[in-house]
A and B are shown apart, each in its own frame.
Chain A
């Protein structure tokens, strides 16, 4: 599974927020707008995301965070990328460094295998410092999209639906 095939321009947020909580809320909001869950489930999803953070921060070090949940309300697996070049200082990463790239992964409850694979895939991609550096220097979502996927634009400007989960 390659997370890059699940990215669209609309799923990339150049963040103004610099605190963990508003950042996560912003990404959840984006996910809801992208149709990850029904609007009435947004509250429950938010709760799940913050619950997971309470158990242990998803800041995995070297400026990266991967907030992730499996959630019964998730219709299609969804990835939202948030970029904050200045860093989110209060993310409480395991190496205490500010987080610059946040990749939120939302999966359906029963997608255990895909979930682990996707997490691993994201980590592998971002572990390369060069890629991460380029990513935080991008100024538009389109540029970030191109950097991640290697494509210039998602087809006809529509969100690239991952047909595997449709």
Chain B
């Protein structure tokens, strides 16, 4: 027996988690973290990342490196899904409306960051190292990496707060495209650096051709698969197949891009763009389906991002470098976006608040840093990786909150809402027909008829002297009496009222009331206060009318934003 326990104890290891434990911990802890931060009015994505940091390399180190690396394909998938959904936001009408604005802002915010980071890093490094070549190399590489903005954590905030409007559209456009610009800058700068840092293989033309292939072929793959998926979507209409086909398509495109060494995020994004424009109605359904399953994937992804952020090993010099990078990047993005906004005559909300939405950096920046490390092993490479990781650590924690602040100030929160979302935010009280006439139980039938003729409700509560609910009179219940005119003198409301199948309280969430209506196939539900007095009657058509009005309101507000 003792042997048995001993052997069990030998095989049990909690200090190093297995892959399922990591998954469980990430999803469970991440969700709790997200909720906590949501309570503090900080976007949930920060909570996911912090949980990751706590269990990851900079924290408790519960996730061993070999397990973290096993998640790489999953991370690709999550990023691919996010890119696909960002592509889905880029409708032709949006591109037409904001296209000029996108290009100006994109160009200036990316180059702004590049130049300021480059300049600051060069000056500071030159002063510290007294080595112009080293300083220039670092400046070019860090500058080009700084152009990238993380689409994932930025758009996650937009989705969480259901934003809609010019600022939202511009953010989607910018984050979708500025990674390409960052790749381009990096390709040029790393080649230049290679040349004067004295490494072999510095061939700008070759690098550029390579980039052209990476981007061009990715666009082709994305467009081709988008075209095919749009055709499939038209052929299959049930939700399961739609979802399965689409996830399959995303995986295929990602896998193909990895195999062909293409920019996989670009290809899945292009696929999203094609779907949303070729099959607008079907794709709306598809993106809402994906949105529903995306949450656990996002949570896991961002927790994993947190676990991989390593800021151990940062020293004073790297600390200074990271600060300089951060200041240069932030300033560059702010000035660049402002300049681009002004030149393209963007609406004031975009000019004022877009700069605050561009702070996040993540996957692409870290990817480029690792690439730089491989290309320039040793001091420069390590410095770049640590600086990018450390600054990612910081901007990932503050970036989402700035995005939230910006979209809130721009008045775009809560405008991108569907009927289902809307119904969840409404309380039953709000929809209650104001002043539904109450019918006392001793009201004669003739009087009841005249009440029906004077109001346009279909259901009326019958009450006792204390206004407590006794029953309901509907058109149906009085209809029965029409063929029995001889009864009209002595029938009372009490005699013809019906007992409602169920009732609800004024604070019952409207979504639940709607569920009840559907579940019991009802047209109305009386609302009864805790003291049994009638608050009113919720009619199914009343809910529909209320929601339609609200949606129209939002449509108007969105249009008013520009």
Contact = CB atoms under 8 A, between A and B. Distances in A.
Interface of A: 52, 55-56, 58, 60, 66, 68, 70, 94, 109-110, 112-113, 115-117, 119-120, 123-124, 127
A115 B492 CA distance: 13
Interface stretch (B69-77, B389-397, B477-485): B477-485
Interface in B472-517: 477, 480-481, 483-484, 486-487, 489-492, 494-496, 498-499
A96 to B, nearest CB: 14
Describe B's contact surface by its main secondary structure.
mixed
A68 B480 CA distance: 17
Interface string B31-52: 0000000000000000000000
Contacts of A119: 484, 487, 491, 495
B487 A123 contact: yes
Contacts of B494: 52, 55
Nearest to A119: B487
Given A55-B442, A112-B477, A120 B492 contact: no
Interface residues of B, number: 19
B17 to A, nearest CB: 59
A110 B498 CA distance: 7
Given A70-B495, A109-B499, A112-B477, 11 more contacts: A52-B495, A68-B495, A112-B480, A112-B498, A116-B480, A116-B491, A117-B484, A119-B487, A119-B491, A120-B483, A123-B486
Nearest to B498: A112
B61 to A, nearest CB: 67
B486 A116 contact: no
Contact of B489 (A52, A55, A60): A60
Contacts of B441: 55
A142 to B, nearest CB: 30
Contacts of A115: 495
Chain A CB count within 10 A is highest, among B444, B480, B490, B498, for B490
Interface in B334-348: none
A98 B399 CA distance: 87
Chain B CB count within 10 A is highest, among A52, A94, A116, for A116
Given A68-B495, A112-B496, A58 B484 contact: no
A124 B480 contact: no
Contacts of B481: 116
B486 A127 contact: yes
A58 B489 CA distance: 10
A66 B492 CA distance: 13
B315 to A, nearest CB: 81
B487 A120 contact: yes
Nearest to A57: B490
A68 B442 CA distance: 14
Interface string B448-489: 000000000000000000000000000001001101101101
B442 A116 contact: no
Per CB-CB distance, the 5 closest pairs between chain A and chain B, nearest first, are A120-B484, A55-B442, A116-B480, A60-B490, A123-B486
B486 A124 contact: yes
Interface in B393-444: 441-442, 444
A110 B481 CA distance: 16
Nearest to A59: B490
Contacts of A116: 480-481, 484, 487, 491, 496
Contact of B486 (A109, A110, A113, A120): A120
A72 B477 CA distance: 18
Contacts of B496: 112, 116
B489 A94 contact: yes
A109 B498 CA distance: 8
A94 B489 CA distance: 9
A70 B496 CA distance: 10
A61 B499 CA distance: 29
Nearest to B480: A116
Nearest to A121: B484
Interface string B265-295: 0000000000000000000000000000000
A112 B497 CA distance: 8
Chain A CB count within 10 A is highest, among B441, B477, B495, B498, for B495
A68 B494 CA distance: 11
26 contacts: A52-B492, A52-B494, A52-B495, A55-B441, A55-B492, A55-B494, A56-B444, A56-B490, A58-B490, A60-B489, A66-B490, A68-B495, A70-B495, A94-B489, A109-B499, A110-B498, A112-B480, A112-B498, A117-B484, A119-B484, A119-B487, A120-B483, A120-B484, A120-B486, A120-B487, A124-B486
Contact of A113 (B444, B480, B490, B492): B480
Interface in B130-150: none
A85 B489 CA distance: 25
A29 B495 CA distance: 22
Contacts of A120: 483-484, 486-487
Contacts of B491: 116, 119
A60 B445 CA distance: 14
Contacts of B490: 56, 58, 60, 66, 94
A109 B487 CA distance: 19
Contacts of B480: 112-113, 116-117
A112 B484 CA distance: 13
Nearest to B476: A112
Nearest to B478: A116
A44 to B, nearest CB: 15
A12 B295 CA distance: 72
Nearest to B499: A109
A124 B483 CA distance: 13
A14 to B, nearest CB: 25
Contacts of B444: 56
Contacts of A112: 477, 480, 496, 498
B495 to A, nearest CB: 7
Contacts of A60: 489-490
Chain B CB count within 10 A is highest, among A52, A113, A120, A124, for A120
Contact of B442 (A56, A66, A124): A56
B545 to A, nearest CB: 28
Nearest to B485: A120
Nearest to A52: B494
Contacts of A68: 495
B412 to A, nearest CB: 51
